[in-house]
Structure 1
Amino acid sequence: MLIDHLELVMFAVAVALLLRGYPVAFTLAGVGLLFAFIGAYFQQGYFASGDVNFLRPFYSRIFGLMDETNEVLVAVPLFIFMGVMLERSQVAGELLQTMGRLFGSLPGGLGLSVTFVGMLLAASTGIVGATVVTMGMISLPSMLKYKYDKGLACGSIAAAGTLGQIIPPSIVLVILGDTISNEYIKARRAVGDWAPDPVSVGDLFVGALLPGLMLVGLYMGYQILLAIFRPQMSPAMDVTEKVTAAEVMRVLFPPILLIFAVLGSILYGIATPTEAAAVGAVGAILLAGGRAEEGSPWPQYLALFGLIATFVLTRFFDLRLTRTVIEPNDLIGIWLTAAMLGLFTLGLAACLLRVWRSGILANVMQSTTKVTAMVFVILIGAQLFNLTFRGLGGEETVHEILSAV
């Protein structure tokens, strides 16, 4: 009977509502709460007492999720800020236009450009919505203009846009890393291991990098095969103005440098994901500030000079301030480093002022707040759904299904 398997009915109802287009957060929370009362009415699972007292831990789970000591989730708004800032500052649009001119003269070149830019945006933003919208607005009209197959054009944009779900720094991986780490620690403690090694977000980033690149390779391989065997589906475009190597480097170098700064610092263990997210947010401000006022990139150069000089000074001087005795040479190095950091701060402040005066900053902050709120509301709804699902015996059902496979 269905009453004996309410957890499966609950899952099916949630999937059906999501496919109907209802908001994820309210669907998860609403279905979870509804089936908690249904389970209590029919006295199923942990609701056999006829009430919903099993949901009492919901409050502690929410406060545990948002605990002030949980630094991992701080990376979420920072990565979102970085992605929205890059999208608002037209970095994505300029990348698409330049890559389109570079590869567009080849059959399937526009599709390859979309996939390549989608990979770069995924690695520099970590969010999906802004990427898909940007590429759809810029690339889709051009692809349809040059008689691309509609399904191929839309599929290429949608597939490239969703690369942000798997290629680091993905917001999904940040949230999964925090959740998996907590559950892994609980599982290890349940079997008597009181000092387990946690699963870090950096580990997930390392694990997701190769599959993400493989997925990009498969997308591009499919587009190349279509261009060879069905050239009418992805014809070449007429490129009247060739792109120069200098122009390609000018467009590609800043995002690649930002990707290296964010991902490199995580993968090499130099910074935690939260610290790397802060680096990415600062880098996005510098990139946006240089584009806010064309022809005057001095704040970027000033900040870059100060940053490089600081790294160089750390190689030649001991800059620790907690020492009892500081050598005169090191003292000079400390003052020089402070001066270079001052130059970096001045350049960053100038870029931030430019972004604010252009109106970009206000839009970015609003979008960041909305997306961050959406992410955390989904987390709260998922906690309620998960608690009810487990209360109805869903955990045991899943275990039985997987064991029987």
Structure 2
Amino acid sequence: MSPEFLSVAMFVVLLIAVFLGHPLGITLGGLGIIFGILGYGPGAFFILANKTYGLMTNYVLVAIPLFILMAQFLDKSGVAEELYETMYIVLGPVKGGLALATVVVCTVFAATTGIIGASVVAMGLLAAPSMLKKGYSKELTAGVITAGGTLGILIPPSIMLVVYGGLIGMSVGKLFMAAFMPGLLLSTLYLIYTWVYCTFINPEAGPPIPEKERVHTTGQKLLMTLKSMVPPLFLIFAVLGSIAGGIATPTEAAGLGCIGALVLAALNKRLDLKMLKEAGYSTLKITCMVMLIFVGANFYTSIFMGLGGGDVFTSILFSISSNKWVILGIMMFIIFILGMFVDWLGILLLCVPIFTPIAVDQLKFDPLWFAMIVSVNLQMSFLTPPFGYALFYLKGVAPEGMTMGHIYRGIIPFVILQLIGLALCLIFPEIITWLPSVVFKQ
């Protein structure tokens, strides 16, 4: 069997195994071994050992468990609860105010956690019961919580960007700075849509809180906002400011973030042995899952590329069209479709090593810009049915009466908004490249 045939068969078998629901990490590693032996003989095991050792000595990836631990500390520190209560009071009198408050809190929480599960579950427990009690539609409630929660995978510090940087050897600090504006762009689109929808299109979907509950003065609201905003903003500045200022590497900044999250938990009187134990156990489980997939995908990609899979894929793309924008559109479409069925980590580890050389070396796209386009696209994978993770996270903590039907209908406008955000980043690349050029200027 020719190497080209093996590489194509390898990809087809992977798709079949994924659609059958087999565990991704084990599937990737297993297929790597099977096709590695067919292509290289026993030498495949040396490739596995070499790739795994190289992965485990990658200093950048040390940031993954640290950022996960920071997210676990924050999830249990009460920061999100206090911030939501404040936004509830400040924005509640506005039509759609609670939905707007949810997006604001999700945006701030995204900039402190980097994990969407923490954001969606936290806001599902905090915001969903309150919004439904005040008469908000179930679809709008589900939409703002899931869409706002997915910002955690894009707005830095993001686990996805750490993995991306470690995968292709790109500066994680530059990825963080490049992701900030697209993340804020999406958040702004959510806010604008929510306000317009609740004010002009369907006011009954997001009524303001009753007059009798508006008992706080402007001064009290300002004081509450400062009190609830300062702690998370302090943490954001400590993590991202240390990276942008060249004081710390992303890995060191992640450690600093863990300390900051512990301080916030202590200030909120949530720091105890039980909290540390639960946070450590959750971090261990998530890190093991991520690294198992990482090892399997790294080995799979090495065998696939070594057998000539990259060349085969490149030939197929260029046989369709020689226009670089058409080829880029095909790559984005593939990622979007895969996002409906495959976890973001699997897509990242499978597609990026294949797509990046084509986009950067042959199509001459800016590598940082291309990385952000892929990242914004991957964010949609959390919302697109049938296997959008954010949808299942919310359903797991949703109040009684909120069905998957409500959640599916609720995310439709926000998926469209994400497509609009992706289009804006394509049309105006400065959205991505401006901040890194300012922060990291020579």
Query: How far apart are 1:55 and its partner, in Å?
Result: 5.2
Match for residue 51 of structure 2 among 61, 66, 91 = 61
Quick one: which amino acid aligns to residue 272 of structure 1? T
Match for residue 15 of structure 2 among 12, 16, 38 = 12
If the length of structure 2 is used for normalisation, what is the TM-score? Answer: 0.65
Deviations 1:165-201 (A, max 9, x none): 11111011111111111xxxxxxxxxxxxxxxxx311
Quote the residue 1:208 is aligned against: 179
1:278 aligns with 2:255: yes
1:249 aligns with 2:226: yes
Deviations 1:382-404 (A, max 9, x none): 12332343355421232123323
Q: Distance in 1 between matches of 2:201 and 2:303?
A: 51
4+ long deviations beyond 4 Å: 30-37
1:264 aligns with 2:236: no
Quote the residue 1:231 is aligned against: 203
Q: Which has the larger radius of gyration?
A: 1
1:400 aligns with 2:371: no
Quote the residue 1:76 is aligned against: 64
Q: Distance in 2 between matches of 1:16 and 1:276?
A: 38
- Aligned-partner SS, 1:173: helix
Quick one: which amino acid aligns to residue 272 of structure 2? W
Quote the residue 1:28 is aligned against: 28
Quote the residue 1:122 is aligned against: 110
Q: Distance in 1 between matches of 2:264 and 2:228?
A: 11
| Structure 1 residue runs without a partner (length 5+) | 41-46, 182-198, 294-354
If the length of structure 1 is used for normalisation, what is the TM-score? Answer: 0.70
- Aligned-partner SS, 1:56: helix
Quick one: which amino acid aligns to residue 356 of structure 1? D
- Aligned-partner SS, 1:244: helix
Query: How far apart are 1:23 and its partner, in Å?
Result: 4.1
Quick one: which amino acid aligns to residue 204 of structure 1? L
Quote the residue 1:319 is aligned against: none
Quick one: which amino acid aligns to residue 263 of structure 1? L
Quick one: which amino acid aligns to residue 269 of structure 1? G
| Percent of residue pairs identical | 42
Contact kept in structure 2, 1:135 and 1:157, CA below 8 Å: yes
Contact kept in structure 2, 1:7 and 1:392, CA below 8 Å: no
Query: How far apart are 1:284 and its partner, in Å?
Result: 0.8
RMSD over equivalenced CA pairs, Å: 2.4
Match for residue 279 of structure 2 among 360, 364, 371 = 364
How many residue pairs are counted as aligned between the two chains?
310
Q: Distance in 1 between matches of 2:307 and 2:137?
A: 47
Query: How far apart are 1:236 and its partner, in Å?
Result: 2.3
Query: How far apart are 1:149 and its partner, in Å?
Result: 2.6
**Residues 10 and 392 (structure 1 numbering): CA distance in 2 closer, same or farther, change over 3 Å?**
farther
Quote the residue 1:326 is aligned against: none
**Residues 401 and 108 (structure 1 numbering): CA distance in 2 closer, same or farther, change over 3 Å?**
farther
Q: Distance in 2 between matches of 1:381 and 1:267?
A: 32
| Structure 2 residue runs without a partner (length 5+) | 322-326, 328-442
1:219 aligns with 2:134: no
Q: Distance in 1 between matches of 2:131 and 2:307?
A: 50
Q: Give the alignment of 1:324-363 within 5 angstroms.
A: 355-357=271-273, 359-363=274-278
Match for residue 108 of structure 1 among 96, 100, 109 = 96
Query: How far apart are 1:26 and its partner, in Å?
Result: 3.2
Query: How far apart are 1:213 and its partner, in Å?
Result: 1.1
**Residues 155 and 52 (structure 1 numbering): CA distance in 2 closer, same or farther, change over 3 Å?**
farther
Contact kept in structure 2, 1:36 and 1:388, CA below 8 Å: yes
Query: How far apart are 1:87 and its partner, in Å?
Result: 0.7
Q: Distance in 2 between matches of 1:106 and 1:401?
A: 53
1:288 aligns with 2:265: yes
